[in-house]
Amino acid sequence: MCCPKCQFENLPDSHYCSKCGSALVSQTQTLQTFQPYLAMGSTFTGRYQVIEEIGKGGMGQVYKVFDSEIKEKIALKLLRPEIASDETTIERFRQELKLARKITHHNVCRMYDLGKEEATYYITMEFVDGEDLKSFLRKSGQIPIKKAISIAKQICEGLAIAHKFRFVHRDLKPQNIMIDKDANAKIMDFGIARSIEARGITGTGFMIGTPDYMSPEQAEAKQVDQRSDIYSLGVVLFEMTTGKVPFEGDTPFSIALQHKSKLPPNPKDLNSQISDDLSQIILKCLEKEKEKRYQEVDSLLRALENVEKPKKTPPLPDWKNSIAVLPFTDLSPGKDQEYFCDGISEEIINALTQIKELRTVARTSAFAFKGKDSDIREIGKKLNVGTILEGSIRKSGNRLRITAQLINVDDGYHLWSERFDRDMEDVFAIQDEISLQIVNKLKAKLGHKEKGRLIKRYTDNVEAYNLYLKGRYHWNKITEEGLNKGLEYFQQVIERDPTHALAYSGIADCHTRLSWYYYRPAKEELPKAKTAAKKSLEIDASLSEAHASLGFAILLHDFNWVGAEEELKKAIRLNPGNANARFYYSVLLAAVGRYDESIVEAKKGAELNPLDLMAIVNVGLRYYYAGMYDDALEHAKKAIEMDPNSMIGHYYTGFLYARKGEHEKAIQAIQNATLLAGSHPQFLSVFGFIYALSGQKEKAIEMLEKLMSLSKPTKFSMLFIPMIYSALDEKDHAFEWLEKAYEAHDPMLIWLKSEPAFHVLKQDPRYTEFLKRLGLDE
């Protein structure tokens, strides 16, 4: 006696299944209504010539037959009496098969028709020449990772077309997945599982679905949707890569109970060849709450595609020469010219970035050696450059003495050196001569336009120039005080020279950064940034810095993705060495979901700024939004290796550990960041997020209450509050705070589409509406 519930073979005179306890249908009753076997070589219904039996399952036997009408081999499934005896079920079959026949995809087995011969019902379908995935797993134990991903992707593609018709499989399992001789996967039995959910069938003891692959909502007989199929596919992927299903038990009930309440094991613990990213994907499919799984199969497919891609560095520019300009040493009597020395160095850096053949290390990395007695060869190795410019400045009254040396890193010899004893008014000519000598000695090709940009002056007013250097000196500190002082100096520059385009660009940068770092309300600062950037471009339309400033401002304030991209691409085209422009552009690309491009752009920025910790972390964040958590964490850890006291490194390490589900490590990393930087609202935000993800609801709510009680809410991104609420599955509160963030023009709103924390909101129409308002719905 075969149990209709668990398919366990019992003794002939059994009344109940010895494995699961279900009532058994007597063999006598079955024979009255069911033709149990089709002999090989016989003809069924006068049309189907039986070739062989190819399968047996809960629905009945499956045969390969030759259809004499259409002259083609097809599959024929005889339905078991428990199903066929109920007219409601048969009528449901008819309706479901009408829908199932609309699914035409090479990864879905075509369903043909429902027929009846005397008391026996049967279904005809496409014949797949191969074997089912379960048989393959029984022989091989587990499947190589690459092949498992390939099969899972094909299943995703087949499910995607079905889900577009709002058609859910409900019984996805290896037995229902055929692998043909060309290694193509085909999903079987669409329409069948849904049909047997007709009222009255469940009461007979026939279990809908298969417990090993059943979603928690199926186990509880709740309503299911496409996310149930995603759960089942997660189980299939778990089994393909580990050789085991996540839950095992003595009875179907005990297995179903585990799906409902027990956390699955980490598949990587069972197979070390599984990457962290793939393990994360499988566990996300197996989330108990369907809101925490992938919400559409397309999202799962993209994640699998990202895991499959080779981890190689995208092609970067082939620079002919490379240089680092170190900050000039202040030899002035009063040692009070640091801003001037830094400013001259930065001006030369900015001039040299205009040369396409010359890789010029950005200011942050070049200035990392300021005040250190480092060997030239060591500096060259760390910055990966062939030449270094160093020098000193002595300023006394109106007189200047500037020395400069261009040094070959390989042998330490000077390629060029010069001393300039001039009046302050000659500082512009000195800068031009140093830049031209560098280009000459490195034999870099210099076009007419490049030469013009190299020696371009933005003011002839020495006082305005001096104030501008002070403004950049304070802006580069990126502190609230530094940005405010920088803004004051740039405004003083404008008072003395209203045509100073760079000063207007500096004003725009200050306003943007004051909002980006939550020092001031973005709603107030970003319009000022746009105005200043536009004024700069009115004076000089070829200024890369101004295009970058405008692009980032209209991105954050207007959510004008097309306009922002045009400005940022123009900024990079005008100056390929503009590291800020590349940073802004990588942010835009990740926010709209163009992850591969964003990684490339972030890496180009990091190449220009190899010692800038934020540039390193920025590459990691681009991997994060692409769903590649291991690569993201690797870059955050690299920042800590470069500087163990890096608050940025510890902060993002904690955030990434949280996303990987390693909550204790996440909390420790954020505590390290707190020790380095002191108490900050942003740390409360991340603690709340970690607690919410780890199921510590009371602690998460405690962090929320602290955040909401702060007297200066502009000191952190309000977007963390809806992120926490999303992780707590409190959607109404999440949307309430998203609305507040929108009203405040919170800069982090640009991440609404790409931030994984918000994926739980995707099925809510309010989320779609928000994406439309942000221009992110395409």
Q: Supply the DSSP symbol for 648.
A: H
Q: Can you say whether the dihedral through the CA atoms of 648, 653, 659, 664 is positive or negative?
A: negative
Q: Can you say whether the dihedral through the CA atoms of 117, 119, 123, 128 is positive or negative?
A: negative
Instruction: Give the H/E segment covering residue 338.
Output: helix 338-352
β-strands 61-67, 72-78 pairing: antiparallel
Q: Angle, nearest 10°, between helix axes 613-625 and 579-591?
A: 20
pLDDT surpassing 90 at residue 237: yes
Task: Quote the CA–CA distance of 226 and 495 in Å, as a whole number.
Answer: 63
What's residue 324's pLDDT?
Answer: 93
* pLDDT tens by residue, 573-608: 999 889 999 999 999 999 998 888 999 999 999 999
In residues, how long is the chain? 778
Task: Quote the CA–CA distance of 555 and 741 in Å, as a whole number.
Answer: 15
% of the chain surpassing 70 pLDDT: 90
Query: For the residues 720-734, what does the mean pLDDT come to?
Result: 91
DSSP assignment of 196-245, as one string?
Answer: TTSTTTGGGTPPSS-GGG--HHHHTT----HHHHHHHHHHHHHHHHHSS-
| Position 647, amino acid | M
Q: Angle, nearest 10°, between helix axes 613-625 and 647-659?
A: 10
pLDDT surpassing 90 at residue 74: yes
CB-CB contact of 588 with 561 (8 Å) = yes
Name the least confident of 289-303, 320-334, 431-445, 513-527.
Answer: 431-445
Q: Which residues contact 690 (CB under 8 A, 6 or more apart)?
A: 654, 658, 663, 666, 667, 670
What's residue 449's pLDDT?
Answer: 72
Query: For the residues 377-406, what does the mean pLDDT come to?
Result: 91
Helix/strand/coil for 153: helix
What's residue 714's pLDDT?
Answer: 56
Task: Quote the CA–CA distance of 46 and 68 in Å, as a whole number.
Answer: 9
Query: For the residues 195-201, what does the mean pLDDT come to?
Result: 37
58 — pLDDT class (breaks 50, 70, 90):
low
What's residue 23's pLDDT?
Answer: 64
Average pLDDT of the chain, as a whole number: 86
713 — pLDDT class (breaks 50, 70, 90):
low
* pLDDT tens by residue, 392-419: 999 888 899 999 999 999 888 898 999 9
- Which of these, 537, 476, 477, 528, lies nearest to 507 by C-alpha position? 528
What's residue 533's pLDDT?
Answer: 97
* pLDDT tens by residue, 83-96: 777 777 788 778 77
Task: Quote the CA–CA distance of 149 and 139 in Å, as a whole number.
Answer: 19
Task: Quote the CA–CA distance of 111 and 413 in Å, as a whole number.
Answer: 78
757 — pLDDT class (breaks 50, 70, 90):
confident
Strand segments, DSSP code E, in 249-383 are 321-325, 329-330, 358-360
Instruction: Provide the token pair at 731.
Output: 């959607």
Name the least confident of 99-103, 113-117, 611-615, 731-735.
Answer: 99-103
pLDDT surpassing 80 at residue 420: yes
pLDDT surpassing 70 at residue 195: no
CB-CB contact of 266 with 289 (8 Å) = no
Instruction: Give the H/E segment covering residue 693.
Output: helix 681-693
Residue with tokens 């026996």: 120
* pLDDT tens by residue, 628-682: 888 899 999 999 999 999 899 999 999 998 888 788 999 999 999 999 887 778 8
CB-CB contact of 466 with 336 (8 Å) = no
CA-to-CA separations, 113 to 42, 628, 695, in angstroms, rounded: 21, 44, 48
Strand partners, 125: 75, 111
18 — pLDDT class (breaks 50, 70, 90):
low
Residue 470: burial class (beta carbons within 10 Å; 0-12, 13-18, 19+): buried
What's residue 193's pLDDT?
Answer: 46
Angle 515-516-519 from CA coordinates, rounded to 5° = 50
CB-CB contact of 727 with 630 (8 Å) = no
Record the pTM. Answer: 0.62
Task: Quote the CA–CA distance of 513 and 530 in Å, as a whole number.
Answer: 12
CA-to-CA separations, 192 to 8, 37, 107, 335, in angstroms, rounded: 21, 21, 17, 84
| Structural domains in the chain, sorted by start | 1-33 (no CATH), 43-126 (3.30.200.20), 135-193+203-308 (1.10.510.10), 321-457 (3.40.50.10070), 460-558 (1.25.40.10)
| Position 687, amino acid | F
Task: Quote the CA–CA distance of 709 and 703 in Å, as a whole number.
Answer: 10
Residues 341-364: b if buried by 16+ CB within 10 A, e if exposed: bbbbbbbbbbbbbbbbbbbbbbbb
Q: Angle, nearest 10°, between helix axes 697-708 and 681-693?
A: 160
| Position 329, amino acid | T
What's residue 14's pLDDT?
Answer: 59
* pLDDT tens by residue, 141-154: 788 898 999 999 99
CA-to-CA separations, 62 to 126, 127, 128, in angstroms, rounded: 12, 10, 12
What's residue 19's pLDDT?
Answer: 60
Q: Angle, nearest 10°, between helix axes 561-574 and 544-558?
A: 160
Of residues 658 and 512, the one with the higher pLDDT is 512
